Structure 1
């Protein structure tokens, strides 16, 4: 019996995207590249059944339920693209891209299509860079 090969986090994200409708997958892959190119300390994995991006560097100890390492998680439902920033309320959002006022500190970015992604690309990277400045 062949032993199952464990895919790397990056390979798991790639496989996840390949299972999507091709046109939708292309948009998701573009967003993925935008997020990863914001800073070399951004890593990726599948978390909560979707691509997730997190800080890979050193951090002070914290309660895992605080999700301090999580930068942004995709929420893909019925071809709708939502980027959930679990601690987005802490970020100085000068572009005004983050929406929602959730008690747990989440903020969301909704993207409609590739054109919308391209318009918001620089603002999205700016938010990630602002988030990284808050890491302790």
Structure 2
């Protein structure tokens, strides 16, 4: 992928996710011909979230997002899904990094519970 706002956004959220807990592991899953690099997934005692890049956004899907507190209203996609929740980041969006890290830590705690 060419260096643009999406790759910069993916790099930044990757740093935030991996920095939230020392036991978080990143893997690439679901490789296929149309996506040979696969989908970045982040786990710690279970799946936390995936990160996907689209033409107009970077999408983070939290596997158990519906069970997480979201006091800062970061989730803005898949809000009616039964289990997961999404966070779509567009070119001009400013991510509340502190709230995002807390959301990651909460997801880890839920997986460990």
What TM bracket, shorter-length normalisation? 0.7 to 0.9
Q: Secondary structure at the match of 1:101?
A: coil
| TM-score computed with the length of structure 1 as normaliser | 0.67
Any unmatched runs of 5+ in structure 2?
31-37
Structure 1 runs of 4+ with >4 Å offset:
none
Confirm or deny: 8 A CA contact 1:73 1:83 kept in the other structure. Answer: yes
Higher relative contact order (CA 8 A, sep 6+): 2
Equivalences for residues 1-136 of structure 1 within 5 A: 20-23=1-4, 24-48=6-30, 49-55=38-44, 57=45, 69-99=46-76, 100-103=79-82, 105-113=83-91, 116-117=94-95, 120-134=96-110, 135-136=112-113
Task: Note the residue ranges of structure 1 that are not aligned, 5 or more in a row.
Answer: 1-19, 58-68
* Cα RMSD, aligned residues only: 1.7
Give the length in aligned residue pairs. Answer: 102
